Structure 1
Amino acid sequence: MKKVLLLLLGIFVHQVIQAQTLHALFVADTKDPLLSTACQRDLEVMHRQCTQIASALRVRLNEQTLSGDALNRSNLNRLIDSLKVEPQDVIFFYYSGHGYNESKRNDAFPLLYLHKEAAERSQNPSLKALHTALKTKKARLCISFGDCCNNLSNNTRGMVGGKPLIRGLTLTNDSLNAAYRKLFGEASGDVLIASSQPPQTSCAHADSGSYYTRAFDEALELASRYNRSISWQALLKDTQGRLNQHVATRDRKSIYEIHLLGQPPAVVTDPKPDFQRINQYLNALTDVERPQAERYALLTQVKEYFTKKARIDIYVNTTLGEVQPIEQVIQRLYLNAGKIQRINLIERLSTVSADGIHYERAAIQEIW
């Protein structure tokens, strides 16, 4: 009797799994003069991955692609609105094309460059807004992934000459399926991924596709080789590591947000320097009301805000003076305490390093 019940339970579970659907929504700028071939390669990679995911989970694959002349905001809205989702389904949204950001936005995730005419740019959706719209479908798991630039202008995406190194894959189907089931079959919640953080660009190669997509593809295929208990955070960290192995993308940093049931949120997003905090730090060095020992101790904190080799343009009132290394600058501020009335970091003339946290070139104004 017990064996019969277990058999019936197994049949029931199998039927439930079979009733689930993986909704794969692919959006790619395959008509763009620069990116067309790379975007087509990206679509091929994601089609293969989603086919493997659906097979591993034993679920139906509902794949829809928006590309070419059909690529616009209206068609994208219709695609999302028409999506019929059941509670145990999975949504996987993927975009490959141009992207950008704007200085007045508080959102670190990019705008998708669907409309390139100046009069129509207001129609360009943000990746995060699309992710929010997809989450309203109430799938068990919602993943949104954008491989595009995130720089503070509408410059074209970087194309590089060397192909990324794609290692051979030697996993068995069983080990690969185990990783897919862990990431897509057992997780509940949402994951939002962008290939670059502001103000960075992303890179692609015409023959091999986008570098971050390829790194994600490789990390996903190799997910269970080193870690049977693979997680989304571990997967995206591995993707970042693989991205940084290439010369063309050595300094590129992705961003993501992970919100899964039963797990603490994992957020890597917009780690730009804290402008106000740096201003306070610089002014503390010249504050004679602070004990000298306290100001001296502040000298060691410079590494929290600037790279070791940072260069600083010094404006005295409104006149540009010397360009000095950061260590010399903070010694200058410390020694001139009482003479300098205020320090202002000139953010618009400063450059953030590749890690998105420190300044590698900065401008400051000394008010005497």
Structure 2
Amino acid sequence: MKVMRILLGYTLLCSQLCFGQSKLHFIVFADTHDRSLGQTNLKTFHDLSSSIGFVNTIATYAGLQPNLLLYEGEKCNPKEIDQLLTTLVVGKDDVIFFYFIGHGWNNRQNNYPSFIFGNAYTDRATLETISRNQYDIYRRLISKQARLTIVIGEACNKERSDSPPVISKREIEIMSPQPYDPLKIKALFRNWSGGFLLSSCQRNQFSYSDLKGGWMSVAWQNTFTELCNDTYKRKVDWQLFLTSVQSKTQKTAEKNEQKQMPQFELSILPFNGSTPVSNIIPKSNTPVSITNAPCPSIDSYVNETALAGIREDLPLLHEMYDEIDSDNAKEYAGAFGLFFQNQRNFYNKLGSMVFYEATGIPDKCRPTFDKNTKWVFDSTNEIYQRISVINKYTSNPNKLVQQARSDLPSIISRLEEILEKFDK
């Protein structure tokens, strides 16, 4: 045992001497003041950032100098995240570890949630301004070209019109602490270049928690305990680690008769001291085109998540049209007003949403793209104008019913045309 302690001390000393200047930028945003999830979020926040928490374990065993950037309670707000993303300075051998704990929702930009930095129970217009999309945060952080960038979000990924998740009070298993293997932890955080993002659930799923913490955060802790202890004999890498987090979270959900499956996007390479991080920074969701290559098809730039949003709304719009009746005008006006409130921003930006982040189009291809997609923007502009006109009469339900009877067929027809063209 004495020999083992000497070897462990030597390993840690060597790590700190060899990599003493490298930092671990450990960033946690936690909505610990939320009226429904505050105590659960506080538990996860403590597990991550306390003196005996995850950050101390990584820093100690991987030989990284911790730079703690902790935002909980009132500090979990949009001003702080925007300032951090603008001012954070990192070194080329540093590690960025970002973790968000709070409410989230999907605004149909992509399959990842938009985190709510502030009051999750505010009106829809304010919600749009205080939310930041996880994929956008990831891209901004990885563009700083630290050696390794990790962005994790524990937040729901459904529409904001859905009911909030129920906090389960059933027991979930947390593995007993085991002696860590310093070489495994060091390998995870020192031997890879690039980054990954992980969200606690897929689109249209809730992110569940109970009094012991978020289900994914517990799965993360258990995976770390299982794979990084000195009795686990297999080689550990991030693909294995993240797949284990997925599996453990899913099994917890199944035990609690719920559905939750984390998702991740992994963009890393083995690091040998010279791997250029810039080679694996995601520029956008669109294909990269060589200057002399043929122009990609329009389909290459279509945002599948936006199409999924249209598919989800069409049955509701059909139902609204089928149920138009002057006898239920007041109730109908209320239902349409709620639909408009929830989806106003989506339909206002639908044209650009369909081709979300189509900024990678080569200059030579742009004129053809603009010409061939003009009909889409004409249709989406018409859709939003017609929806807005109907909503204008919410205070006059009988007039709203008349307007809906006139405009809904055109709205539905335009949306179906977009799906017919691009939904492959």
Matches of 2:166 and 2:158 in 1, distance apart?
11
Q: Is the 8 A contact 2:249 2:262 kept in 1?
A: no
TM-score (norm 1): 0.64
Query: 1:52-91 alignment to 2 at 5 Å?
Result: 52-91=57-96
Task: Mark the CA change 1:212 to 1:16 in structure 2 (over 3 Å): closer, same or farther.
Answer: same
Alignment match, 1:211: 215
Which structure 2 segments of 5+ residues have no match? 1-12, 272-279, 281-302, 309-318, 323-424
Give the counterpart of 2:97 among 92, 100, 114.
92
Do structure 1's residue 228 and structure 2's residue 234 form an aligned pair? yes
Amino acid across the alignment from 2:110: D
Task: Mark the CA change 1:162 to 1:83 in structure 2 (over 3 Å): closer, same or farther.
Answer: same
Query: 1:7-46 alignment to 2 at 5 Å?
Result: 15-46=17-48
Matches of 2:171 and 2:202 in 1, distance apart?
23
Do structure 1's residue 113 and structure 2's residue 116 form an aligned pair? yes
Alignment match, 1:156: 164
Query: Structure 1 residue 17: deviation in Å?
Result: 0.3
Amino acid across the alignment from 2:166: G
Task: Mark the CA change 1:88 to 1:200 in structure 2 (over 3 Å): closer, same or farther.
Answer: same
Matches of 1:262 and 1:185 in 2, distance apart?
9
Which structure 1 segments of 5+ residues have no match? 1-10, 276-314, 319-368
Task: Mark the CA change 1:90 to 1:120 in structure 2 (over 3 Å): closer, same or farther.
Answer: same
Matches of 2:38 and 2:199 in 1, distance apart?
20
Amino acid across the alignment from 1:185: R
Query: Structure 1 residue 228: deviation in Å?
Result: 3.3
Amino acid across the alignment from 1:245: K
TM-score (norm 2): 0.56
Query: 1:1-368 alignment to 2 at 5 Å?
Result: 15-47=17-49, 48-102=53-107, 105-116=108-119, 117-118=122-123, 119-123=125-129, 124-154=131-161, 155-170=163-178, 172-173=179-180, 175=181, 177-205=182-210, 207-224=211-228, 225-246=231-252, 247-248=255-256, 251-262=259-270
Please state whether the residue corresponding to 1:217 is helix, strand or coil.
Answer: helix
Matches of 1:249 and 1:213 in 2, distance apart?
19
Query: Structure 1 residue 248: deviation in Å?
Result: 2.1
Structure with a larger share of its residues in strand:
1
Query: Structure 1 residue 12: deviation in Å?
Result: 9.3
Q: Is the 8 A contact 1:98 1:156 kept in 2?
A: no
Q: Deviations over 1:214-263 (max 9, x none)?
A: 10111012114445311111111111222233222653111100001259
Matches of 1:143 and 1:96 in 2, distance apart?
14
Alignment match, 1:289: none
Task: Mark the CA change 1:13 to 1:72 in structure 2 (over 3 Å): closer, same or farther.
Answer: closer
Query: Structure 1 residue 209: deviation in Å?
Result: 0.9
Task: Mark the CA change 1:89 to 1:237 in structure 2 (over 3 Å): closer, same or farther.
Answer: same
Task: Mark the CA change 1:236 to 1:249 in structure 2 (over 3 Å): closer, same or farther.
Answer: farther
Query: Structure 1 residue 44: deviation in Å?
Result: 1.4
Query: Structure 1 residue 138: deviation in Å?
Result: 0.9
Matches of 2:117 and 2:245 in 1, distance apart?
26
Q: Deviations over 1:261-312 (max 9, x none)?
A: 259x9xxxx999x98xxxxxxxxxxxxxxxxxxxxxxxxxxxxxxxxxxxxx
Matches of 2:33 and 2:159 in 1, distance apart?
23
Let me know the Cα RMSD of the aligned residues. Answer: 3.0
Amino acid across the alignment from 2:138: H
State the identity %.
Answer: 22
Query: Structure 1 residue 82: deviation in Å?
Result: 2.5
Query: Structure 1 residue 77: deviation in Å?
Result: 1.1
